[in-house]
């Protein structure tokens, strides 16, 4: 639990640093009703260009159904409908307290609202660390995560267009952010001691810094998993995560289901399709990023990550796996958890326990990147 002094310090974390940008985080989708609570709330209805200040504790309810739909009939695409903030710096939605401002976004095509938290980037990092790692982990591991997460968020922030009303989602699609009370003394320290620091590639370009739970022995480059090339990435051998977290795993897939998945992957990514359902899987290594298989007499080479996207994370927890045919079933054996690109979080934990600094940890997983201060503090 944080002491009162630390709580106050989090609230004031960015007050002396006007150059710190705010990031807009999508924290909830498709809400029918939104109830926001706080002290001395300031409510702004952007459609009507009207603001109202309330004294004392106030609970404000928004109905996102027909009321909003009628008012949005003249607009196309998503629109900022309302925003709420409090001079205390905290505002509540449900059981959670958030720093910054809560914003309601709606679309005339939908009878629901999305909820966005606009929060100073450094405050965002303090709460994210407890979700993406663990608030009790060694500070050097948390600092490595802070730099990687800040890089990812900062890169997304710079790419956001006026047509998009948030920078990233609080989900595994981007990064899982926390709420005010998720911050700990260690996450606060990790953010503070790396303020403004991000990773840049060899040419000085800012690219997203990816991370995952457990690589299982070897990390991947972004192009090996998603197909897009990101500057500066290398695949590195990592033995540090092997004794922690999820153990090696195995599973089964029905042969018919695999045929269907392969056909979908070929159509979606390779402009091809299966013409023979008799599949033969070639010998493989768990750390290969692609799988080789014959459908009849035709050889297909496809990314394992594409199969994982279709099969789901419960069936294929990582992209490090091998497949083998046994009767009418496909047996799967794998290592690690997550997409395997960039920082291995459990590897970083072990390195920090061994005395590595966050700079050494980042240098290991991002050997061609450098740390730079993104904005003036």
Share of the chain above pLDDT 90, in %: 76
- Position 323 confidence tier, pLDDT thresholds 50, 70, 90: very high
Give me the pLDDT at residue 76, please.
Answer: 64
- Position 319 confidence tier, pLDDT thresholds 50, 70, 90: very high
Residues 114-150 have pLDDT tens digits of 999 999 999 999 999 999 999 999 999 999 999 999 9
Residues 25-53 have pLDDT tens digits of 999 999 989 999 999 999 998 878 899 99
375 CB-contact burial (10 Å; exposed 0-12 / middle 13-18 / buried 19+): middle
Give me the pLDDT at residue 243, please.
Answer: 87
Average pLDDT value for residue range 70-99: 85
Q: Are 368 and 222 in contact (CB under 8 A)?
A: no
Give me the pLDDT at residue 72, please.
Answer: 61
Q: What span, in angstroms and rounded, lies between the C-alpha atoms of 45 and 344?
A: 43
Starting at the edge strand found earlier in the chain, the sheet holding 33-39 runs 57-63, 33-39, 90-93, 96-99
């Amino acid at each position: 639990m944080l002491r009162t002094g630390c709580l106050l310090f989090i609230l004031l974390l960015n007050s002396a640093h006007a150059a710190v940008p705010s990031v807009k985080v999508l924290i909830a989708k498709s809400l029918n009703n939104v109830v926001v609570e706080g002290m001395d709330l300031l409510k702004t209805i952007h459609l009507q260009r009207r603001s109202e200040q309330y004294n004392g504790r106030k609970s404000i309810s928004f109905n996102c159904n027909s009321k909003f739909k009628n008012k949005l009939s003249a607009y196309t695409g998503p629109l900022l409908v309302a925003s709420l903030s409090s001079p205390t710096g905290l505002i509540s939605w449900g059981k959670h307290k958030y720093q910054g401002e809560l914003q309601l976004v709606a679309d005339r095509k939908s009878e629901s609202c999305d909820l966005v938290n606009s929060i100073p980037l450094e405050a965002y990092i303090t709460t994210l660390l407890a979700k993406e790692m663990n608030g009790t982990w060694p500070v050097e591991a948390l600092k490595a995560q802070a730099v990687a997460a800040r890089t990812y968020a900062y890169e997304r922030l710079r790419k956001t267009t006026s047509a998009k009303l948030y920078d990233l989602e609080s989900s595994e699609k981007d990064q899982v952010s926390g709420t005010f009370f998720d911050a700990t003394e260690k996450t606060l320290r990790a953010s503070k001691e790396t303020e403004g620091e991000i990773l840049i590639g060899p040419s000085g370009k800012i690219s997203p810094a990816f991370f995952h739970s457990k690589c299982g022995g070897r990390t991947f480059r972004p192009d090996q998993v998603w197909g897009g090339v990101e500057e500066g990435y290398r695949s590195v051998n990592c033995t540090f995560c092997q004794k922690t977290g999820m153990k090696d795993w195995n599973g089964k897939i029905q042969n018919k289901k695999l045929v269907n998945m392969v056909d979908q992957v070929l159509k979606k990514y390779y402009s091809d399709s299966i013409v023979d359902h008799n599949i033969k899987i070639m010998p493989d290594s768990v750390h290969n990023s692609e799988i080789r298989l014959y459908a009849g007499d035709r050889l297909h080479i496809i990314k394992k990550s594409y199969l994982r996207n279709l099969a789901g994370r419960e069936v294929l927890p990582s992209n490090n796996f091998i497949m083998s045919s046994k009767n009418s079933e496909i047996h799967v054996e794998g290592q690690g958890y997550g997409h395997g690109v960039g920082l291995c979080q459990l590897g970083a934990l072990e390195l920090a326990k061994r005395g590595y600094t966050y700079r050494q940890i980042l240098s290991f997983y991002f050997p061609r990147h450098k740390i730079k201060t993104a904005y003036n503090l």
